[in-house]
Structure 1
Amino acid sequence: MNSTLVSIIVPCYKQAHYLSEALQSVLEQSYANWECIIVNDGSPDTTELVAKEWLEKDNRFKYLYKENGGLPSARNAGIKTSLGEFILPLDADDILHHDYLKKIVPVLESNDTLAIVSCYTKFFTNKLSNIVYELKPIGTTYHALIFQNTLVATSLYRKKCWEEVGGYDETMKKGYEDWEFWIALTKGGLEYKVVEEFLFYYRRAKKSMLVDTRNKYAEKNMEYIFKKHKDIYCKHFDNTAEVLFYYIKTHRMGKMELKKSLEYKIGKLIMKPFQMLKKIFNL
């Protein structure tokens, strides 16, 4: 018998073409006691049209429109209207295994020391049969999370924990908001558990928020997290220093390898006449 109500929060911004596939995976859940809140984050595409089609299919689907404010803002908005004791974020382009809730919910129900329950994840491109990577998170406490986020955003957690930490940090519009959120949930002593089954499918696209974040904002976001939670990073100062100096070393070595590369030498040779002209004409 399904007991705990789970609120599945699906923010959507420019992902209407994937939305139905994600919602179909919700509808097919073998665990029946859920509500699904589709949050239209001011999307300029057909998100509203697609969402309303699903409202007609099943009354467990709900719809919320808001002005565009970014992913953490959209998640928070959906959770504020939710009725469930447990929360499950689901991005509009990802897919749940049909037994996701059936396997995950009982684990969180049975252990009050847990804040989060996650699972193994398969990364795919285009279609589910095209698996490109498998993620198997480890650890149970914040110590395994402070230097690298291994938990996907689609992990189950208690709504009361979300309330206690003030929700997702809405200033983190450029990614890593879920990483910061997991640290906030667990640094007080609560733990997380990983169910060792592949129950979630993450769509890897050439162009995505995650790719953009890694390419442009990774260091800035990490700096923000380190400073916001400086109590735990100072507590683990030796490990923090080791990680930071590792990043400095790899960055320096990367620059040295670049300067040794043939492409760099050719580029430098091509630009030399232009640099001479710049000096001559004081440009």
Structure 2
Amino acid sequence: MKVGVIIPVRNARPWIGEMLESIQAQTHPAQAYLAEDRSDDGTFEWLREHPGLYAKMSRNRARKGWAGSLNAAARLALADGCDALFTASADDRLHPECIARCVAVLGADGGRDFVVPWAQQFGEADHVQASLPDCGLDDLVVWPPLIDKALIARATWEAVGGYSPKATLPGSYGSAEDWEFWIRVWKAGLTRYAVVEQPLYFVRVHPGQLSHDRGEWHGATVDLFRKLHPDLPWTADSGVWPPRHRTTKRSGHA
């Protein structure tokens, strides 16, 4: 199975090298596909000087944000013949067995639509992000019960069409498009999935990352998703911030 790790990249100069090296260290071969989102900290120039660390890179003509850049990276990987896409962020890193473990599960039992590994935070926090192994639409209208980092079969990504630009709020560069993506996955009936209950993806927590602004945009995001999917059973508890429905555990109790 040819795996492409798709990565939006913006102002990630201090960390992108570590992520790319962790991809090259995978026990199952994988290659990085990057969409550079108009960095102004020297990231793009550094990447051009290190072409051996990734398979392909494009640079957005104008800033697209996280979701638009993820889709751009996916197009590079799909055009290069990848059978599955692993979604990642430029400031994180992979366990050496991450791709191998996910590939084994993706192909087991007649094949699955996608595989989600547990993720381990590091930096300012140390929680394990433990996705639900038996998610349903009722869970998806309360809170995203799956993390955004997953190995997704090519057919699944293409059937859903990647992340929707309609799910990005005007004025933001990304808030919770992964939540809306999973809703469309379930609506498409692509729910044959598994969770690897071991931290295989490491999430760096640091000042200035995009997710720190999520609270600011959260209420408007939930309102937008209600409009995009009015057929779902939204309730008063849907998307309550801070979340009442969590999928995290302290690392000492994983």
Give the TM-score normalised by the residue count of structure 1.
0.75
| SS of equivalent residue, structure 2 residue 131 | coil
Q: Is the alpha carbon distance of 1:52 and 1:247 closer, same or farther for their aligned partners in structure 2, counting shifts above 3 Å?
A: closer
Aligned to 1:63: 57
Q: Is the alpha carbon distance of 1:247 and 1:81 closer, same or farther for their aligned partners in structure 2, counting shifts above 3 Å?
A: closer
Which of 165, 168, 177 aligns to 2:163? It is 168
Q: Which has the higher contact order (CA 8 A, sep 6+)?
A: 2
Give CA deviations for 1:235-274 in whole Å, capped at 9, x if unaligned.
Answer: x3xxx33525x959x9xxxxxxxxxxxxxxxxxxxxxxxx
Alignment of 1:169-208 (within 5 A): 169-171=164-166, 172=168, 173-191=173-191, 192-208=193-209
More helix by share: 1
| SS of equivalent residue, structure 1 residue 10 | strand
Which consecutive unaligned segments of at least 5 residues does structure 2 have? Answer: 244-254
Which consecutive unaligned segments of at least 5 residues does structure 1 have? Answer: 251-283
Inter-partner Cα distance in structure 1 for 2:230 and 2:74: 27
Bigger Cα displacement from structure 2, 46-55 vs 82-91: 46-55
Aligned to 1:24: 21
Structure whose CA Rg is larger: 1
Matched, 1:79 2:77: no
Inter-partner Cα distance in structure 2 for 1:85 and 1:146: 30
Q: Are the aligned partners of 1:11 and 1:40 in contact in 2 as well (CA < 8 Å)?
A: yes
Give CA deviations for 1:107-160 in whole Å, capped at 9, x if unaligned.
Answer: 11225563221111111116xxxx521122213333333321132222111222
The count of corresponding residues between Structure 1 and Structure 2 is 231
Alignment of 1:1-283 (within 5 A): 4-32=1-29, 34-56=30-52, 61-67=55-61, 68-82=63-77, 83-111=81-109, 114-125=112-123, 132-143=126-137, 144-171=139-166, 172=168, 173-191=173-191, 192-214=193-215, 216-231=216-231, 233=232, 236=233, 240-244=234-238, 247=240
Q: Are the aligned partners of 2:9 and 2:89 in contact in 1 as well (CA < 8 Å)?
A: yes
Give the TM-score normalised by the residue count of structure 2.
0.83
Superposed CA RMSD in Å reads 2.3
Letter matched to residue 176 of structure 1: A
